[in-house]
Amino acid sequence: MAMVTKETKEVAKGTFWTLLGDLAFKLTSFFYLVFLVRIASQDDIGTFYLALSIITISSLLFKIIFSSFSRYIPYFRARAEGLKIQKLLKLGYSISVFLAIFVAVIVYFFIDIVNFISYDPFISSFLKLFSINLIDSVYSETSLGNVLKILSIYVFVSVFFNLSTILMQSLKRMRNNAIITNIQNISKLVLLTVFYFYIGANLFVITVSFVLSYILAVLASLVFALPAIKELFGESTGKTISYRNLLKEILPFGIAITASSSFWTLLSSSDKIMLAYLLPFEISTYTVAVYTVATSLSFLILLFPSAISSMHRSFTVKKGLMMLKKYVILQCVGFFL
């Protein structure tokens, strides 16, 4: 009888917790969407998801850091290069905080920037050559501007949320990762429900409950993230490396992974922006709401492939092509199921 390898046990255990976490996450998301549709207007839902799409596209810069974390932490650990991990953590958190502040400021003043560009005679004439008249589009709406200002807080908070979850995945602690993500998702539903009964359903309530759910999740993630970081800083093994050489080592791979994985993010976010821009203003946010809810509900069935893909990230660099082939096969089987 063939012995079960340590890697296979880790994959099985990680996949179990990821499947369980994804199941809870998707069930909560289903109830959240149904509840949101029942209590809020289509215009409010459409405006919120339109603002969230703008935020998602503006946050693509963070993917380079996230990709480097998820691949290189297990890679350096396998090679007993603890000093490199410590440098990577310091570098990753420093760059992420700087980028988060930069993007949050841009998002906060997004409408003001758009209005300034649109009213500039030279730039406005140039944009009209491409039939881009931003001042007449939904982007200049006051409601969208207010949502973006609130979501600028989310830009900053979500960086720490993503770093914590990716750190858990890198260390193959999928149970902790599932707990963190579900705290955020369940909090979002609970907060929306509480605000609805005390205040009512409006765009402000939807946005604030969404942002607060991430703040609560980040606070909860400290229970897992801080001991993990302390553990990694206790592994002072291997040769030291300068930050410049570390960037040279991780950036090519991070940029390549980011470029390949950003297409889906662009497609899933830019479609809502294009709908809002191309359709008449009277029906644009309504259409965005219907489109978002319909596609979100359909994506809830992709449970098994997402569980396998989350688990194989921590093995891709460490174990090479043979391990990756196994997980691709598992993903295909799960997709057809």
Total domain count, the chain: 1
Cβ distance 83 to 31 under 8 Å?
no
Q: How far is CA 10 from the centre of its chain?
A: 25
Q: What DSSP state is assigned to residue 2? A: P
* Structural domain range at position 110: 6-336
* pLDDT tens digits for range 11-67: 667 777 778 888 888 889 888 988 998 898 888 888 888 888 888 887 777 776 676
Which comes out higher in pLDDT, residue 128 or 205? 205
1 within some domain:
no
Q: Which candidate, 273, 266, 264, 306, places its Cα nearest to that of 292?
A: 273
**Amino acid at residue number 50:** L
Give the per-residue pLDDT at 57.
Answer: 80
pLDDT band at 237 (very low <50, low <70, confident <90, very high): confident
* Helical H segments across 171-302, by residue range: 174-198, 203-233, 243-278, 281-299
Q: 230 CB contacts (<8 Å, ≥6 apart)?
A: none
Cβ distance 77 to 175 under 8 Å?
no
200 within some domain:
yes
Give the per-residue pLDDT at 250.
Answer: 80
> 231: buried, middle or exposed (CB in 10 Å: 19+, 13-18, 0-12)?
exposed
102 within some domain:
yes
Which comes out higher in pLDDT, residue 194 or 118? 194
**Amino acid at residue number 158:** S
Q: What is the mean pLDDT of residues 277-298?
A: 74
Cβ distance 241 to 79 under 8 Å?
no
pLDDT band at 192 (very low <50, low <70, confident <90, very high): very high
77 within some domain:
yes
Provide the token pair at 193: 């429900």
Q: How far is CA 253 from the centre of its chain?
A: 19
183 within some domain:
yes
137 within some domain:
yes
Of the ranges 60-64, 152-156, 203-207, which one carries the lowest mean pLDDT score? 60-64
End-to-end Cα separation, the chain, in angstroms: 28
Q: 166 CB contacts (<8 Å, ≥6 apart)?
A: 66, 69, 70
Q: 304 CB contacts (<8 Å, ≥6 apart)?
A: 19, 331, 334, 335, 337
Measured distance CA(15)–CA(174) in Å, rounded:
8
60 within some domain:
yes
pLDDT band at 179 (very low <50, low <70, confident <90, very high): very high
- Alpha-carbon torsion angle 101, 72, 163, 63, nearest 10: 50
Q: What DSSP state is assigned to residue 236? A: -
**Amino acid at residue number 331:** Q
161 within some domain:
yes
pLDDT band at 333 (very low <50, low <70, confident <90, very high): very low
